Each structure stands twice: as C-alpha cells, then as structure tokens.
Structure 1
Amino acid sequence: MQDGTDFEVPTIDIGPYVRSGSAADRAAVAAAMDDACRRVGFMQIQGHGVPDDVVAGLAAAIDAFFGLDAEEKRRWVRPPGENRGYTPPRSESLSLSLGVEQASRMNDFFEAYNVGRSLSDYPWIDLPEPLAEHYAENTWPAVPGFEQHVSAWFAEAERVAETLTRIFADALGLPADLFDDLTGHGIKVLRMNNYALPEGTAVEVDGDLVGMGEHTDYGIVTVLWADREPGLQVLGRDGAWHDVLPEPGALLVNLGDLTARLTNERWMSTLHRVKPPLVGGTIRRRRSAAFFHDGDADAVVAPLAGLLEPHESPLYDPVTIDQHMRAKLAGSRAGVRNADAVRESARVLGAV
C-alpha cells in the first residue's frame, strides 16, 4: 500500500507459516518481514487464517457494546492500573506515554474496552504484587454474545501474534524459541476502540482534534483489525505522517517498544496516531481492535548481543517489562508524563 509518496506499508502473506509451507517459502516470508521491519515497522498481513465469521462476530460485539448509552457503559469502568474494562472518551492521552504534552491533557476522544490474559490463565505462575496487577481478571458486560465473540477473536489474534514472533526469530536469524522465552506468561491485552463523538460535541474539543494521540505500542507486536475508514496515520522515516488504510481482508501489524529494544533499533517501534476526519462538524465513525502481545511482566529486556554490530553500543539499558509497561501506562492513563521515552519523543517532536 502506498499513499502517493515514497512511503509504503508492505503487504506480506504469512500463509507459509500458518499452513506449514516449504522451507523456501518460509524463508521468503522471513526475508520480506525483515525488510518491512527495517524500513517501516508496520505492515499488512494476508494469509493469516482468521475465519470471516470470527471477524464478523468481533465487529458485532463492538457495535453492541459501544451502542449502549453512556451511563450503562460507565458501569464497566475499572481502576486505571488494572488496564481492563471501559475507558470513556477524553480520559486518556497516549502522547504522554512518550513524554510529549498535548495542547490539552486527556484529550483523546476515543472510547475503549479492554480484556486480557489473567493470572488464572497461568496457574503455574506465582507473581508478587505489583507484577500481578498486569494480569487482572476480566469483567464482561451484560451484552448478549459479547464474551463469546470477543473471546473467539482474542484466541485468533493470539495465534497470529505467536506466528509473527516465530517469523521474527527467523527474520533475525535467531533461535526459534527466542520470543517463547519472553512470553510464557505474557501480558496480552485486547483493546477494542470506538472513534465517534455524540452529535454536536466535535466543535467543543479543546485544541487540535485527537482521536488517539501519537504513540508507540509498548510491547513486542500488535495485531490490529480496523475498519476501512480513514484516520490511522504512521510516521515514516521521512519525518512525515502518512495515511494508512487496511486492505480488504488484511490485518495491520506493527512493532512495539520491546522489539525495538531487543533489536537495538535495527527494527524500530512504529509511531502512529488516529486523526479521524471532521466533516460538517461530525466524525465519521471508526472501529478497531488492537491485540497487544507484550511479554512476561518479570522478564528483562535489553539489546541482544547477537544483533549488535562490532563496536556497536546498546541504545537501551536493561529493563523489566513490568517497569517499562508501568511507565507507559502511567503516561497514557494517569497523566504522568513518561520521562524515560527520550528516543521515541524525539522522533515525534521532529515530525513535520
């Protein structure tokens, strides 16, 4: 996919990994993945094997929940530290996770609902507080079919993410179990997003209209289903923001901060934002669902020695995934500017 400039979001058919293809076909996929991750860090994937009825079920579940009235949706708000349940509009500012101030804090107008893997999914693990906070139990709204459809999508997105990390290992020329060692009890969160404003409220937005502020995702890899509606923009290596529209049947995939750290920015996490068009004072509704594959809370992440060139120095100090995630979430959800995201914020501030 191209947007009329030299910027391109590559399309990769991962079918050879999904269907146990030949070694040659898998090598071709891994090479294409390495190229995409070096140049863009964002791609469209086909051949993922997610059934159409599972996609339709997810869309129906999103419509059913976000179609409830505001008072009913607010019943499902959870404490910010739990990263579960309902997030009302204008209660987050994703740019603060990068340490970048918006014109107005907590100005992102999207609303969301989060579910994820809980400690009960990993009965063999005994994590102390505060690490256990990343694995809060889910609450399911009283919407017919919601839990069933969302759970079906979650399982498919999780499978796709695990397939992608196997491709990543091959693309980097590293042991196949590299990412398995970081994700045995991974933090895995599905965030369903709705971009819309009640009629007549768009003109009241303070400052520049922000659907979801500029940010990088926090973990290893994100698998995104999205409407074919405009709004998603990716920051290219040219320092400009580029529109990205999903191809029919494709899933969007982008790299997160932990992968950038592991590869010493051979592959960089993808800066992106959502700027839905404002037409006649109203917002064209847009839906998405982002599955975050984020690794074990107690795992330590640092640049891999095997990927460093001779005399190349690590760009990042070792950090636990818990520490990294906590700083990011404190920015986006609690309004605490993340002072540690120096490299990422410099890219945003240099954008044109």
Structure 2
Amino acid sequence: MTFHVPTVDISPYVVDGGSPDARRPVAEDIDFACSTVGFIQIVGHGVPDDVIAGLANAMDSFFGMSPEDKRAFITPPSINRGYSAPKSESLSLSLGVESADRMNDFFEAFNVGAQASDYPSVELPEADYPSNIWPSDEFRAGVEAYYAHASRVARTLTRIFADALGVGSFDDLTDHSVDAFRMNNYALPPGEVHLEGELTGMGAHTDYGIVTVLWADQVAGLQVLGTDQVWHDVSPADGALLVNLGDLTARLTNDRWMSTLHRVKPPIVDGTIQRRRSAAFFHDGNIDAVIAPLPSHGSPLYEPVTVADHIRAKLAGSRGGTINTAAEREAARVAAALE
C-alpha cells in the first residue's frame, strides 16, 4: 500500500451555517485519516495568507538575531516558554528512547502558549500556564495574529473529532486547554554544523496532547513513520496546514487513532543545513483533565493519566534530558522502525 497523507477540506465546519449533511463526509474523512495515517493535510481552514506571512516575518526577525541576543530569552527547562538553542533538546527522550548523543536535536525554537490570564474564570497554576515572553512588539503582533487562528482551527478539529467518534464534544477536556505554540528554525550560520555522527534535525517523537496544527515551509525534512514501519517524506501542499494527533488522542481512542511518530532530517548542502521553518500549535487539553480510553473503545490499553502528569513527563524528557519511562508503547514503535 502506497503511503499517502490524506487531504481534507474542513470548510463545512469553518463557514457559518455548515449543514450536518455537508459536515458528515468531513468527519468520515477525518476518521479514516486518523485511523490509517495519523497525519492529515487540511484545506479550507480559513487562515488568511497575510496572517501566515506575518508569522513568517516575525519568525525571521527573531531567528535572524545574533546567538547572544537570542540566548537572553532562554528559560528553565520546566517553563515551556522563550528560546531553545540548537542542541539543547532531545525529542526522542520524551518517548523514553535514549539517543546516542543526548540533547542533539539541531533546531532552535521559540515558545509561547496559553497563560493563566487567558482563562480568568478558572484558577490555574502559573507553573503550567506561565506568562509569555516577547522579544519585540512587532514579533508579538505577528505571532498573536496567527496564534488566534491556529487556536480556532485546533478547536474546530476537536469538534470534528467528537463528531467522528460520536461522543458529543470534548469541551470538558479542553475548555481551559494548556495550549503551546512552538516556532522552529533549522537555518544555522555556516561553521556551526559538525558532521560527526548522525546529525538530527528533530528526533523521532510523538506529539504530546490532543491535536497539532502545523505550518511549515515546503522544504524537505519532515518524515512520518508509516504502518509499513518505513519513514516517509512529507511536505505540505500549497495552502495546506498539516495536522497530526497527539498521545492523548491515541489514549482516548485506545489506539483506534494513531499518534504518529515523526522526525525531521534536515538536508545538508555543503556542510550546512538548508533553511527550513515550521510552527506547531499544540492543543493539549485541560491541565487537570483525566485522560482514559473512551468506554466505547474496548478493553483499555492505557491507565488513566492527568494531562499535567503526561505533559510534565514528556517535557522532562525533551527539555530536561530525563528519559520518560511512561511511554512504553510509543518507544516500542520507534524501535521497530526500519531505517
């Protein structure tokens, strides 16, 4: 079977007055994609081109700063905000997979996300909903404009998920979701790339929460692990956003839907990494929500876990270098992958 990332037009859920008859095939297509691949390309998402361009310009403005200036925005690993320098993370550790060279992921990133002040009617821990850090007003404007649309798209997708699974809604799991937005950059100055051993752009991992909405350049690098246990190249079509499921959705559906393993293997040209940018909006669910397989989905393969405990274990791996021992099923899938 040829590997293929399905494209789904979600506009019946985006436009006002989308009818049940128009929405039903969308939910069916999403169910098929989530069951067979775990990665989807969506069109009809309603994110304006100028908003995407504004995000790209904001990212360029920050990542174009000197390394010394960028390091001023580094935060402790437990705070998923601010700047992450190259080779300061290892996504494979979030899965419980030990890499040959710890903290070897050769990307840099800037993180923002949901703040406690975003949900004034709920008392939330600052440690889990920290305040954002903004390098400049211009950067903030470009990022916040896109963030609002990505948040809308993620919440639209969870409505589609609920219809596809026949569960009504996921509002009780997402009404104060601990969302995060990560902007990634793989273009590094000449001379900083050392070709000793295998260079990892971003190690093999699954995403942590419910659903991820990804904008990315049409540049080679992103790879998805297919059911054939082979890594396949994926690049977004014109105007499309990539969508993939997180661990918590796999747990909710008792692995009916897949939290698909993916990685980034940046192309090397004359000893330097080709420029590549991506921006991932992670819709992760309420920090106090308990995630367990839906009763309609068979004998549970997973023990119940709070979003807080799950996310902290994953971040302790990727950002803190502490191997995650609670990801046995995901780690086994990495080990089975054919290179």
Deviations, residues 233-269 of structure 1 (Å, cap 9, x unaligned): 0000110000001001000000000000000000010
Aligned to 1:326: 312
Percent of counterpart pairs with the same letter?
65
- Match 2:113 to one of 112, 116, 121: 116
Is the Cα contact below 8 Å between 1:104 and 1:206 reproduced in 2? no
Aligned to 2:202: 212
Is the Cα contact below 8 Å between 1:109 and 1:196 reproduced in 2? no
Counterpart code for 1:11: T
Question: Tell me, which stretches of 5 or more residues in structure 2 are unaligned?
Answer: none
- Match 2:99 to one of 102, 117, 123: 102
Q: How many residues align?
A: 337
Asked if 1:294 corresponds to 2:290, the answer is no
Asked if 1:188 corresponds to 2:184, the answer is no
- Match 2:80 to one of 83, 102, 107: 83
- Match 1:235 to one of 203, 225, 236: 225
Report SS of the residue matched to 2:285: strand
Map residues 133-212 of structure 1 onto 2, 5 A cutoff: 133-142=127-136, 144-175=137-168, 177=169, 179-202=170-193, 204-212=194-202
Distance 1:257-1:199 versus aligned 2 partners, 3 A rule: same
Q: Output the CA distance in 2 between the equivalents of 1:74 and 1:262.
A: 38
The alpha-carbon deviation at position 123 of structure 1 amounts to 1.6
Asked if 1:126 corresponds to 2:120, the answer is no
Is the Cα contact below 8 Å between 1:107 and 1:206 reproduced in 2? no
The alpha-carbon deviation at position 197 of structure 1 amounts to 2.4
Q: Output the CA distance in 2 between the equivalents of 1:125 and 1:27.
A: 34
Question: Tell me, which stretches of 5 or more residues in structure 1 are unaligned?
Answer: none
How does the TM-score come out when normalised to structure 2?
0.98
Asked if 1:54 corresponds to 2:51, the answer is yes
Q: Output the CA distance in 2 between the equivalents of 1:57 and 1:307.
A: 42
Q: Output the CA distance in 2 between the equivalents of 1:200 and 1:234.
A: 29
Counterpart code for 1:53: D
Q: Output the CA distance in 2 between the equivalents of 1:342 and 1:291.
A: 25
Runs of 4+ in 1 over 2 A off after TM superposition: none
The alpha-carbon deviation at position 206 of structure 1 amounts to 4.3
Counterpart code for 2:183: M
- Match 1:345 to one of 306, 331, 339: 331
Q: Output the CA distance in 2 between the equivalents of 1:140 and 1:260.
A: 33
Deviations, residues 15-35 of structure 1 (Å, cap 9, x unaligned): 011013222220000000000
Q: Output the CA distance in 2 between the equivalents of 1:80 and 1:303.
A: 30
Is the Cα contact below 8 Å between 1:240 and 1:351 reproduced in 2? yes
